[in-house]
A and B are shown apart, each in its own frame.
Chain A
Amino acid sequence: MDCVTATVPQAGTDRPDYSALIQPERVHGSLYTDPRIFAEELERIWYRTWVYVGHESEVPQPGDYVRKNIGPQDLVMTRDREGQVHLLVNRCAHRANLVCEDERGNSNSFRCPYHGWTFRNNGELLGYPYHQGYGGRGKLNLGMATVPRVESYRGFVFGSFAEDGPTLTEHLGAAAGEIDRLCRLSPEGEVELNAGWLKHRTRANWKLLAENETDGYHPQFVHGSIFSVTGSPIGALYSEKSTAVTRDLGNGHSENDLRPEFRRHGEPMRWFGTTPDRVPDYVAKMRQAYGDEAEQILVEGAPHVMIFPNLFIAEIQVFVIQPLSVDECVQHSTAVQLKGAPELNRRMISQSIGSVGPAGMLLADDTEMYERNQVGAEQLRPEWLEIRRGMHRERVDERGLRVGTATDETGMRGFWSHYKTLMEDDK
Protein backbone atom coordinates (compact mmCIF):
# COMPACT_ATOMS: atom_id res chain seq x y z
CA MET A 1 0.00 0.00 0.00
CA ASP A 2 2.72 2.44 0.95
CA CYS A 3 4.18 2.60 -2.52
CA VAL A 4 0.91 3.68 -4.13
CA THR A 5 1.36 7.04 -5.73
CA ALA A 6 -1.86 8.90 -5.32
CA THR A 7 -0.76 12.31 -6.50
CA VAL A 8 -4.00 13.51 -8.01
CA PRO A 9 -5.02 10.26 -9.71
CA GLN A 10 -7.30 10.69 -12.67
CA ALA A 11 -10.67 8.93 -12.40
CA GLY A 12 -11.91 9.42 -15.93
CA THR A 13 -12.20 13.17 -15.37
CA ASP A 14 -9.73 15.91 -14.59
CA ARG A 15 -10.81 15.86 -10.96
CA PRO A 16 -8.61 14.47 -8.19
CA ASP A 17 -9.84 11.21 -6.69
CA TYR A 18 -10.59 12.31 -3.15
CA SER A 19 -11.46 8.81 -2.00
CA ALA A 20 -7.94 7.73 -2.82
CA LEU A 21 -6.37 10.82 -1.24
CA ILE A 22 -8.40 10.74 1.97
CA GLN A 23 -8.31 7.41 3.75
CA PRO A 24 -9.56 6.51 7.24
CA GLU A 25 -6.06 6.44 8.72
CA ARG A 26 -4.14 8.89 6.56
CA VAL A 27 -4.39 11.74 4.07
CA HIS A 28 -2.22 12.47 1.06
CA GLY A 29 0.40 15.25 1.11
CA SER A 30 -0.82 16.72 -2.18
CA LEU A 31 -3.96 17.91 -0.37
CA TYR A 32 -1.75 20.59 1.18
CA THR A 33 0.39 21.42 -1.81
CA ASP A 34 -1.53 21.03 -5.07
CA PRO A 35 -2.83 24.37 -6.44
CA ARG A 36 -5.57 22.53 -8.39
CA ILE A 37 -6.93 21.12 -5.15
CA PHE A 38 -6.86 24.59 -3.63
CA ALA A 39 -8.83 25.92 -6.61
CA GLU A 40 -11.45 23.21 -6.04
CA GLU A 41 -11.61 24.02 -2.33
CA LEU A 42 -12.40 27.64 -3.14
CA GLU A 43 -15.24 26.55 -5.37
CA ARG A 44 -16.63 23.76 -3.18
CA ILE A 45 -15.94 24.96 0.33
CA TRP A 46 -15.14 28.66 0.58
CA TYR A 47 -17.52 29.87 -2.13
CA ARG A 48 -20.31 27.46 -1.27
CA THR A 49 -20.68 26.49 2.39
CA TRP A 50 -21.23 28.77 5.38
CA VAL A 51 -18.06 30.64 6.26
CA TYR A 52 -17.62 32.83 9.33
CA VAL A 53 -17.16 36.47 8.31
CA GLY A 54 -17.48 38.85 11.26
CA HIS A 55 -19.33 39.77 14.42
CA GLU A 56 -22.27 42.14 14.73
CA SER A 57 -20.45 44.02 17.50
CA GLU A 58 -17.90 45.17 14.92
CA VAL A 59 -20.55 47.38 13.28
CA PRO A 60 -22.52 48.65 16.30
CA GLN A 61 -23.88 51.86 14.74
CA PRO A 62 -25.86 52.48 11.55
CA GLY A 63 -23.37 53.42 8.82
CA ASP A 64 -20.54 51.41 10.39
CA TYR A 65 -18.51 49.22 8.07
CA VAL A 66 -15.49 46.90 8.31
CA ARG A 67 -13.42 45.15 5.65
CA LYS A 68 -13.78 41.37 5.90
CA ASN A 69 -13.18 38.37 3.69
CA ILE A 70 -14.11 34.90 2.60
CA GLY A 71 -10.80 33.39 1.54
CA PRO A 72 -9.30 35.72 -1.10
CA GLN A 73 -12.66 37.51 -1.57
CA ASP A 74 -12.62 41.06 -0.21
CA LEU A 75 -15.88 41.90 1.55
CA VAL A 76 -17.38 44.89 3.32
CA MET A 77 -19.65 44.18 6.29
CA THR A 78 -22.04 47.08 6.82
CA ARG A 79 -24.95 48.09 9.01
CA ASP A 80 -27.69 50.09 7.30
CA ARG A 81 -29.94 52.79 8.79
CA GLU A 82 -32.53 50.17 9.71
CA GLY A 83 -29.91 48.19 11.61
CA GLN A 84 -29.59 45.33 9.16
CA VAL A 85 -26.16 43.80 8.52
CA HIS A 86 -25.03 43.30 4.89
CA LEU A 87 -22.06 41.64 3.25
CA LEU A 88 -20.98 43.41 0.06
CA VAL A 89 -18.35 42.25 -2.34
CA ASN A 90 -15.76 45.04 -2.39
CA ARG A 91 -15.83 45.70 -6.11
CA CYS A 92 -17.31 48.58 -8.06
CA ALA A 93 -20.10 47.69 -10.47
CA HIS A 94 -18.63 50.01 -13.13
CA ARG A 95 -15.11 48.80 -13.87
CA ALA A 96 -14.33 46.70 -10.82
CA ASN A 97 -12.29 49.10 -8.73
CA LEU A 98 -11.98 48.42 -5.01
CA VAL A 99 -14.66 50.58 -3.38
CA CYS A 100 -13.59 50.60 0.29
CA GLU A 101 -9.97 50.77 1.30
CA ASP A 102 -10.07 51.60 5.02
CA GLU A 103 -10.26 48.72 7.46
CA ARG A 104 -13.23 50.36 9.14
CA GLY A 105 -15.27 53.54 9.12
CA ASN A 106 -18.72 55.06 9.22
CA SER A 107 -20.46 55.99 5.98
CA ASN A 108 -24.02 55.34 4.85
CA SER A 109 -22.83 55.42 1.26
CA PHE A 110 -19.62 54.70 -0.59
CA ARG A 111 -18.03 56.54 -3.50
CA CYS A 112 -15.74 54.70 -5.88
CA PRO A 113 -12.57 56.75 -6.36
CA TYR A 114 -12.13 55.83 -10.03
CA HIS A 115 -15.11 57.48 -11.78
CA GLY A 116 -17.15 58.56 -8.79
CA TRP A 117 -20.09 56.14 -8.81
CA THR A 118 -21.89 56.10 -5.46
CA PHE A 119 -23.54 53.18 -3.66
CA ARG A 120 -25.67 52.84 -0.55
CA ASN A 121 -24.21 50.62 2.14
CA ASN A 122 -26.60 47.85 1.13
CA GLY A 123 -24.93 47.81 -2.30
CA GLU A 124 -27.65 49.70 -4.23
CA LEU A 125 -26.41 52.15 -6.89
CA LEU A 126 -27.12 55.79 -5.98
CA GLY A 127 -25.77 57.38 -9.12
CA TYR A 128 -22.92 58.17 -11.50
CA PRO A 129 -21.33 61.42 -12.70
CA TYR A 130 -22.32 62.95 -16.09
CA HIS A 131 -25.52 61.00 -16.60
CA GLN A 132 -26.05 61.79 -20.27
CA GLY A 133 -23.50 59.11 -21.17
CA TYR A 134 -26.08 56.62 -19.88
CA GLY A 135 -29.12 58.37 -21.28
CA GLY A 136 -30.06 60.11 -18.01
CA ARG A 137 -30.22 59.60 -14.28
CA GLY A 138 -31.31 56.30 -12.73
CA LYS A 139 -30.88 54.36 -15.99
CA LEU A 140 -28.59 51.65 -14.69
CA ASN A 141 -29.51 48.80 -12.40
CA LEU A 142 -25.98 48.00 -11.33
CA GLY A 143 -25.27 47.64 -7.64
CA MET A 144 -22.32 46.24 -5.72
CA ALA A 145 -22.71 42.48 -5.40
CA THR A 146 -23.85 41.06 -2.10
CA VAL A 147 -23.06 37.68 -0.58
CA PRO A 148 -26.24 35.73 -1.46
CA ARG A 149 -26.90 34.33 2.01
CA VAL A 150 -26.08 36.07 5.28
CA GLU A 151 -27.16 34.70 8.65
CA SER A 152 -25.98 35.26 12.15
CA TYR A 153 -25.94 33.13 15.24
CA ARG A 154 -25.74 35.01 18.54
CA GLY A 155 -23.92 37.87 16.81
CA PHE A 156 -21.55 35.67 14.78
CA VAL A 157 -22.18 36.55 11.13
CA PHE A 158 -21.70 33.87 8.47
CA GLY A 159 -21.95 34.18 4.71
CA SER A 160 -22.50 31.69 1.91
CA PHE A 161 -21.88 32.37 -1.77
CA ALA A 162 -24.40 29.64 -2.67
CA GLU A 163 -27.97 30.76 -3.32
CA ASP A 164 -29.25 27.70 -1.49
CA GLY A 165 -28.03 24.82 0.61
CA PRO A 166 -28.20 23.83 4.25
CA THR A 167 -29.28 26.59 6.66
CA LEU A 168 -26.76 28.03 9.09
CA THR A 169 -28.45 26.14 11.93
CA GLU A 170 -28.07 22.90 9.99
CA HIS A 171 -24.44 23.68 9.23
CA LEU A 172 -23.56 24.54 12.84
CA GLY A 173 -25.38 21.53 14.30
CA ALA A 174 -23.83 20.56 17.63
CA ALA A 175 -21.25 23.36 17.35
CA ALA A 176 -23.97 25.95 18.04
CA GLY A 177 -24.07 24.73 21.64
CA GLU A 178 -20.41 25.68 22.01
CA ILE A 179 -21.14 29.25 20.89
CA ASP A 180 -23.95 29.24 23.49
CA ARG A 181 -21.45 28.14 26.11
CA LEU A 182 -19.22 31.08 25.26
CA CYS A 183 -22.12 33.55 25.42
CA ARG A 184 -23.35 32.38 28.79
CA LEU A 185 -20.02 33.37 30.32
CA SER A 186 -21.30 36.93 29.93
CA PRO A 187 -23.67 38.10 32.67
CA GLU A 188 -25.72 39.56 29.82
CA GLY A 189 -25.44 36.48 27.64
CA GLU A 190 -23.62 38.30 24.85
CA VAL A 191 -20.16 38.19 23.36
CA GLU A 192 -18.50 41.14 21.63
CA LEU A 193 -15.52 40.99 19.29
CA ASN A 194 -14.58 44.66 19.34
CA ALA A 195 -11.08 44.62 20.79
CA GLY A 196 -9.42 44.89 17.35
CA TRP A 197 -7.76 42.22 15.23
CA LEU A 198 -4.18 41.05 14.86
CA LYS A 199 -3.20 39.52 11.55
CA HIS A 200 -0.45 36.99 11.08
CA ARG A 201 0.50 36.03 7.54
CA THR A 202 1.43 32.35 7.55
CA ARG A 203 3.15 30.38 4.81
CA ALA A 204 1.11 27.23 5.22
CA ASN A 205 -1.98 25.54 3.84
CA TRP A 206 -5.12 26.53 5.77
CA LYS A 207 -5.99 22.93 6.64
CA LEU A 208 -2.85 22.51 8.74
CA LEU A 209 -4.27 25.27 10.97
CA ALA A 210 -7.81 23.90 11.06
CA GLU A 211 -6.54 20.44 12.01
CA ASN A 212 -4.17 21.76 14.64
CA GLU A 213 -6.78 23.78 16.53
CA THR A 214 -8.18 20.72 18.30
CA ASP A 215 -5.02 18.61 18.18
CA GLY A 216 -4.48 17.84 21.84
CA TYR A 217 -1.35 15.84 21.07
CA HIS A 218 0.98 18.79 20.38
CA PRO A 219 0.53 21.26 23.28
CA GLN A 220 2.87 19.43 25.66
CA PHE A 221 5.63 19.64 23.06
CA VAL A 222 5.11 22.84 21.12
CA HIS A 223 3.79 24.93 24.00
CA GLY A 224 5.97 23.41 26.73
CA SER A 225 7.91 26.65 27.14
CA ILE A 226 4.89 28.94 27.64
CA PHE A 227 3.38 26.45 30.10
CA SER A 228 6.56 26.33 32.17
CA VAL A 229 7.19 30.09 32.05
CA THR A 230 3.64 30.94 33.12
CA GLY A 231 3.14 27.96 35.43
CA SER A 232 -0.03 27.31 33.48
CA PRO A 233 -2.13 24.27 34.36
CA ILE A 234 -3.20 24.01 30.69
CA GLY A 235 -0.45 21.53 29.80
CA ALA A 236 -1.89 18.90 32.15
CA LEU A 237 -5.25 19.13 30.36
CA TYR A 238 -3.60 17.55 27.34
CA SER A 239 -1.65 14.82 29.08
CA GLU A 240 -2.26 11.13 28.56
CA LYS A 241 -3.86 11.00 32.02
CA SER A 242 -6.29 13.83 31.32
CA THR A 243 -10.01 13.12 31.47
CA ALA A 244 -10.63 15.82 28.83
CA VAL A 245 -11.88 14.53 25.48
CA THR A 246 -11.65 15.34 21.80
CA ARG A 247 -15.06 15.33 20.13
CA ASP A 248 -16.10 15.19 16.50
CA LEU A 249 -19.11 17.53 16.46
CA GLY A 250 -20.11 16.62 12.90
CA ASN A 251 -20.00 18.76 9.72
CA GLY A 252 -16.23 19.10 10.12
CA HIS A 253 -16.48 20.83 13.53
CA SER A 254 -14.57 19.51 16.51
CA GLU A 255 -13.70 20.39 20.07
CA ASN A 256 -11.39 19.69 22.94
CA ASP A 257 -13.91 19.33 25.73
CA LEU A 258 -11.98 20.27 28.87
CA ARG A 259 -15.02 20.21 31.16
CA PRO A 260 -14.33 16.77 32.65
CA GLU A 261 -11.03 18.08 34.04
CA PHE A 262 -12.56 21.30 35.34
CA ARG A 263 -15.47 19.43 36.93
CA ARG A 264 -13.00 17.07 38.59
CA HIS A 265 -11.36 20.05 40.29
CA GLY A 266 -14.68 21.83 40.83
CA GLU A 267 -13.01 25.23 41.24
CA PRO A 268 -14.80 28.29 39.79
CA MET A 269 -12.58 30.36 37.44
CA ARG A 270 -9.88 27.68 37.25
CA TRP A 271 -10.52 27.61 33.48
CA PHE A 272 -9.31 31.22 33.42
CA GLY A 273 -6.30 30.47 35.63
CA THR A 274 -7.66 32.53 38.50
CA THR A 275 -9.89 32.40 41.59
CA PRO A 276 -13.20 34.16 42.36
CA ASP A 277 -11.59 36.58 44.85
CA ARG A 278 -9.43 38.00 42.02
CA VAL A 279 -12.47 38.86 39.89
CA PRO A 280 -15.14 39.56 42.52
CA ASP A 281 -17.37 41.88 40.46
CA TYR A 282 -17.59 39.40 37.62
CA VAL A 283 -18.40 36.45 39.86
CA ALA A 284 -21.03 38.47 41.75
CA LYS A 285 -22.69 39.57 38.50
CA MET A 286 -22.71 36.00 37.19
CA ARG A 287 -24.30 34.69 40.38
CA GLN A 288 -26.90 37.41 40.17
CA ALA A 289 -27.63 36.70 36.50
CA TYR A 290 -27.67 32.89 36.58
CA GLY A 291 -28.52 31.97 40.19
CA ASP A 292 -27.77 28.35 41.04
CA GLU A 293 -26.56 27.65 37.52
CA ALA A 294 -23.69 30.15 37.90
CA GLU A 295 -21.48 27.74 39.81
CA GLN A 296 -21.49 25.20 37.00
CA ILE A 297 -20.88 27.88 34.36
CA LEU A 298 -17.94 29.29 36.31
CA VAL A 299 -16.45 25.82 36.83
CA GLU A 300 -16.87 24.58 33.24
CA GLY A 301 -15.51 27.71 31.54
CA ALA A 302 -15.18 28.49 27.85
CA PRO A 303 -15.29 26.19 24.82
CA HIS A 304 -12.33 25.17 22.68
CA VAL A 305 -14.02 24.56 19.36
CA MET A 306 -13.06 24.62 15.67
CA ILE A 307 -16.04 25.51 13.50
CA PHE A 308 -15.53 24.37 9.93
CA PRO A 309 -13.89 25.80 7.91
CA ASN A 310 -12.47 28.91 9.55
CA LEU A 311 -13.72 29.91 13.01
CA PHE A 312 -11.73 28.81 16.02
CA ILE A 313 -12.93 29.75 19.49
CA ALA A 314 -10.05 29.12 21.86
CA GLU A 315 -11.51 29.89 25.30
CA ILE A 316 -10.52 33.57 25.57
CA GLN A 317 -9.60 34.24 21.94
CA VAL A 318 -11.16 33.94 18.56
CA PHE A 319 -9.15 33.05 15.48
CA VAL A 320 -10.32 33.30 11.90
CA ILE A 321 -8.44 31.45 9.17
CA GLN A 322 -8.26 33.14 5.77
CA PRO A 323 -6.69 31.08 2.98
CA LEU A 324 -4.98 33.06 0.21
CA SER A 325 -3.36 30.31 -1.83
CA VAL A 326 -2.41 26.68 -1.49
CA ASP A 327 0.53 27.57 0.75
CA GLU A 328 -0.42 30.86 2.32
CA CYS A 329 -3.05 32.11 4.72
CA VAL A 330 -3.72 34.83 7.26
CA GLN A 331 -4.64 34.15 10.87
CA HIS A 332 -6.85 36.87 12.29
CA SER A 333 -7.11 36.89 16.06
CA THR A 334 -8.85 38.90 18.75
CA ALA A 335 -9.67 38.68 22.45
CA VAL A 336 -13.15 37.56 23.43
CA GLN A 337 -15.05 40.33 25.21
CA LEU A 338 -17.99 39.41 27.43
CA LYS A 339 -20.74 42.00 27.64
CA GLY A 340 -21.09 43.31 31.16
CA ALA A 341 -17.75 41.89 32.35
CA PRO A 342 -15.16 44.72 32.18
CA GLU A 343 -13.04 43.11 34.88
CA LEU A 344 -12.59 39.95 32.86
CA ASN A 345 -12.33 41.77 29.53
CA ARG A 346 -9.22 43.69 30.55
CA ARG A 347 -7.55 40.45 31.56
CA MET A 348 -8.60 38.72 28.38
CA ILE A 349 -6.98 41.46 26.31
CA SER A 350 -3.69 41.28 28.21
CA GLN A 351 -3.69 37.48 28.11
CA SER A 352 -4.35 37.58 24.38
CA ILE A 353 -1.48 39.98 23.84
CA GLY A 354 0.70 37.54 25.77
CA SER A 355 -0.35 34.61 23.63
CA VAL A 356 -1.01 36.00 20.14
CA GLY A 357 0.42 39.55 20.20
CA PRO A 358 3.55 40.54 18.25
CA ALA A 359 5.74 39.10 21.02
CA GLY A 360 3.16 36.51 22.08
CA MET A 361 4.26 33.00 22.85
CA LEU A 362 1.41 30.75 21.82
CA LEU A 363 0.61 31.62 18.21
CA ALA A 364 4.29 32.03 17.35
CA ASP A 365 4.93 28.46 18.45
CA ASP A 366 2.04 27.11 16.40
CA THR A 367 2.91 29.19 13.35
CA GLU A 368 6.47 27.88 13.41
CA MET A 369 4.99 24.38 13.27
CA TYR A 370 2.58 25.29 10.42
CA GLU A 371 5.36 26.68 8.25
CA ARG A 372 7.71 23.78 8.94
CA ASN A 373 4.80 21.42 8.27
CA GLN A 374 4.15 23.04 4.89
CA VAL A 375 7.78 22.63 3.87
CA GLY A 376 7.71 19.02 5.08
CA ALA A 377 4.50 18.23 3.19
CA GLU A 378 6.14 19.47 -0.01
CA GLN A 379 8.76 16.69 0.25
CA LEU A 380 8.01 13.65 -1.88
CA ARG A 381 8.14 10.78 0.60
CA PRO A 382 6.49 9.12 2.49
CA GLU A 383 3.57 10.99 0.81
CA TRP A 384 1.06 10.52 3.65
CA LEU A 385 0.12 12.30 6.85
CA GLU A 386 -1.23 10.17 9.69
CA ILE A 387 -4.61 10.71 11.28
CA ARG A 388 -5.06 7.34 13.02
CA ARG A 389 -4.11 8.17 16.60
CA GLY A 390 -6.69 6.79 19.05
CA MET A 391 -8.91 5.16 16.43
CA HIS A 392 -9.02 1.94 18.44
CA ARG A 393 -10.26 3.68 21.59
CA GLU A 394 -12.89 5.94 20.09
CA ARG A 395 -16.42 5.74 21.47
CA VAL A 396 -19.79 7.28 20.69
CA ASP A 397 -21.28 9.51 23.37
CA GLU A 398 -24.89 9.95 24.51
CA ARG A 399 -25.49 12.52 21.74
CA GLY A 400 -24.21 10.08 19.11
CA LEU A 401 -20.96 12.05 18.63
CA ARG A 402 -17.57 10.43 18.25
CA VAL A 403 -15.24 10.96 21.18
CA GLY A 404 -11.54 10.27 21.67
CA THR A 405 -9.14 10.99 24.51
CA ALA A 406 -7.48 14.39 24.97
CA THR A 407 -4.57 13.54 22.68
CA ASP A 408 -6.42 11.62 19.96
CA GLU A 409 -6.87 12.65 16.33
CA THR A 410 -10.65 12.32 16.46
CA GLY A 411 -11.16 15.97 15.45
CA MET A 412 -8.98 15.58 12.36
CA ARG A 413 -10.85 12.50 11.25
CA GLY A 414 -14.12 14.40 11.56
CA PHE A 415 -12.66 17.30 9.56
CA TRP A 416 -11.53 15.03 6.74
CA SER A 417 -14.71 13.04 6.46
CA HIS A 418 -16.72 16.26 6.04
CA TYR A 419 -14.12 17.68 3.66
CA LYS A 420 -14.36 14.57 1.52
CA THR A 421 -18.15 14.85 1.34
CA LEU A 422 -17.91 18.44 0.14
CA MET A 423 -15.18 17.75 -2.39
CA GLU A 424 -16.96 14.74 -3.87
CA ASP A 425 -20.42 16.29 -3.87
CA ASP A 426 -21.68 16.22 -7.45
CA LYS A 427 -24.31 18.91 -7.10
Chain B
Amino acid sequence: MSDEQDRPGVVVGPSSPEVVGSEFAEVAVSVDHEGNGPRLKLEDLRTGRVRYLDALELETVVWLPDGHLRQLLDPSAHRWREDK
Protein backbone atom coordinates (compact mmCIF):
# COMPACT_ATOMS: atom_id res chain seq x y z
CA MET B 1 0.00 0.00 0.00
CA SER B 2 1.34 3.42 -0.83
CA ASP B 3 2.06 6.15 1.67
CA GLU B 4 -0.59 8.43 0.16
CA GLN B 5 -3.33 6.07 1.28
CA ASP B 6 -2.76 7.00 4.91
CA ARG B 7 -2.60 10.72 4.37
CA PRO B 8 -5.85 12.58 5.10
CA GLY B 9 -7.63 14.09 2.11
CA VAL B 10 -5.78 11.99 -0.47
CA VAL B 11 -8.09 9.76 -2.44
CA VAL B 12 -6.29 7.07 -4.36
CA GLY B 13 -8.04 5.33 -7.21
CA PRO B 14 -7.06 2.05 -8.80
CA SER B 15 -3.43 2.06 -9.89
CA SER B 16 -3.28 3.97 -13.14
CA PRO B 17 -2.53 1.60 -16.00
CA GLU B 18 0.63 1.65 -18.02
CA VAL B 19 0.29 0.92 -21.71
CA VAL B 20 2.41 -1.70 -23.39
CA GLY B 21 1.92 -0.65 -26.98
CA SER B 22 3.42 -1.02 -30.41
CA GLU B 23 2.18 -0.32 -33.90
CA PHE B 24 0.63 -3.80 -33.76
CA ALA B 25 -1.28 -3.77 -30.46
CA GLU B 26 -2.05 -1.60 -27.42
CA VAL B 27 -2.66 -3.20 -24.06
CA ALA B 28 -3.22 -1.36 -20.74
CA VAL B 29 -1.55 -3.11 -17.83
CA SER B 30 -2.31 -2.62 -14.14
CA VAL B 31 -2.49 -4.56 -10.91
CA ASP B 32 -6.08 -4.91 -9.70
CA HIS B 33 -6.76 -5.04 -5.96
CA GLU B 34 -10.58 -5.52 -5.95
CA GLY B 35 -10.32 -9.18 -5.04
CA ASN B 36 -8.94 -10.86 -1.95
CA GLY B 37 -5.54 -10.93 -3.60
CA PRO B 38 -3.86 -8.93 -6.38
CA ARG B 39 -4.19 -9.91 -10.02
CA LEU B 40 -2.89 -8.47 -13.27
CA LYS B 41 -5.47 -6.61 -15.33
CA LEU B 42 -4.87 -6.53 -19.09
CA GLU B 43 -7.09 -4.45 -21.33
CA ASP B 44 -6.91 -4.65 -25.12
CA LEU B 45 -7.36 -0.96 -25.87
CA ARG B 46 -8.46 -1.58 -29.44
CA THR B 47 -11.52 -3.65 -28.43
CA GLY B 48 -11.96 -2.96 -24.71
CA ARG B 49 -11.74 -6.67 -23.91
CA VAL B 50 -10.29 -7.36 -20.45
CA ARG B 51 -8.46 -10.36 -19.05
CA TYR B 52 -7.32 -10.86 -15.47
CA LEU B 53 -4.34 -13.08 -14.71
CA ASP B 54 -3.62 -14.33 -11.18
CA ALA B 55 -0.16 -15.18 -9.90
CA LEU B 56 -0.32 -18.85 -10.85
CA GLU B 57 -1.52 -18.03 -14.36
CA LEU B 58 1.29 -15.51 -14.74
CA GLU B 59 3.85 -18.03 -13.61
CA THR B 60 2.48 -20.41 -16.24
CA VAL B 61 2.95 -17.75 -18.92
CA VAL B 62 6.54 -17.19 -17.79
CA TRP B 63 7.20 -20.93 -18.23
CA LEU B 64 5.30 -21.32 -21.52
CA PRO B 65 7.74 -22.66 -24.15
CA ASP B 66 8.38 -20.28 -27.05
CA GLY B 67 6.85 -22.79 -29.43
CA HIS B 68 3.47 -22.64 -27.64
CA LEU B 69 3.49 -18.88 -27.69
CA ARG B 70 4.26 -18.97 -31.38
CA GLN B 71 1.24 -21.22 -32.01
CA LEU B 72 -0.97 -18.78 -30.11
CA LEU B 73 0.24 -15.97 -32.36
CA ASP B 74 -1.33 -17.70 -35.37
CA PRO B 75 -4.42 -15.49 -35.87
CA SER B 76 -6.60 -18.50 -36.67
CA ALA B 77 -5.51 -20.38 -33.54
CA HIS B 78 -8.45 -18.88 -31.63
CA ARG B 79 -9.59 -15.40 -32.44
CA TRP B 80 -10.07 -15.43 -36.18
CA ARG B 81 -11.62 -18.80 -37.09
CA GLU B 82 -14.44 -19.69 -39.42
CA ASP B 83 -16.00 -22.02 -36.83
CA LYS B 84 -16.43 -19.33 -34.20
Contacts and interface: CB of A to CB of B under 8 A. Distances in A.
A100 B73 contact: no
B64 to A, nearest CB: 13
Contact of B76 (A102, A111, A129): A129
A137 B80 CA distance: 12
B78 to A, nearest CB: 11
B77 interface: yes
Contact of A127 (B24, B25, B76, B82): B76
Interface string A105-132: 1110111000011101000001111111
A293 interface: no
| Chain B interface SS verdict (over half) | loop
Interface string B56-84: 00000000001000100111110111100
B22 interface: yes
A81 interface: yes
A111 B80 CA distance: 13
Contacts of A127: 73-77
Contacts of B25: 111
A95 to B, nearest CB: 15
A128 B24 CA distance: 15
A101 interface: yes
B74 A126 contact: yes
A102 to B, nearest CB: 4
B74 A118 contact: yes
B74 A100 contact: no
B23 interface: yes
B70 to A, nearest CB: 6
A132 B75 CA distance: 12
Contacts of B24: 107, 109-111
A227 B74 CA distance: 59
Given A81-B66, A130-B81, A118 B75 contact: yes
Contacts of B74: 118, 126-128, 137-138
A130 B22 CA distance: 24
Interface in B12-60: 22-25
B54 to A, nearest CB: 24
Interface residues of A, number: 23
Contacts of B66: 81
A136 B70 CA distance: 17
A127 B23 CA distance: 18
Contacts of A129: 75-76, 79-80
B76 A126 contact: no
A120 B76 contact: no
Given A130-B82, A131-B81, A118 B23 contact: no
Contacts of A130: 76, 80-82
Nearest to A116: B75
B23 A101 contact: yes
A106 to B, nearest CB: 7
A228 to B, nearest CB: 46
Contacts of A105: 22-23
Given A130-B80, A130-B82, A102 B23 contact: yes
Contacts of A137: 74, 76-77
A126 B80 contact: no
A110 B24 CA distance: 7
Interface of B: 22-25, 66, 70, 73-77, 79-82
Given A105-B23, A130-B81, A131-B76, 11 more contacts: A81-B66, A107-B24, A110-B24, A116-B75, A116-B80, A118-B75, A127-B73, A128-B74, A129-B75, A130-B76, A130-B82
30 contacts: A100-B23, A101-B23, A102-B23, A105-B23, A106-B22, A107-B22, A107-B23, A107-B24, A111-B24, A111-B75, A116-B80, A117-B75, A126-B70, A126-B73, A126-B74, A127-B74, A127-B76, A127-B77, A128-B74, A128-B75, A128-B76, A129-B76, A129-B79, A130-B76, A130-B81, A130-B82, A131-B81, A131-B82, A132-B82, A137-B77
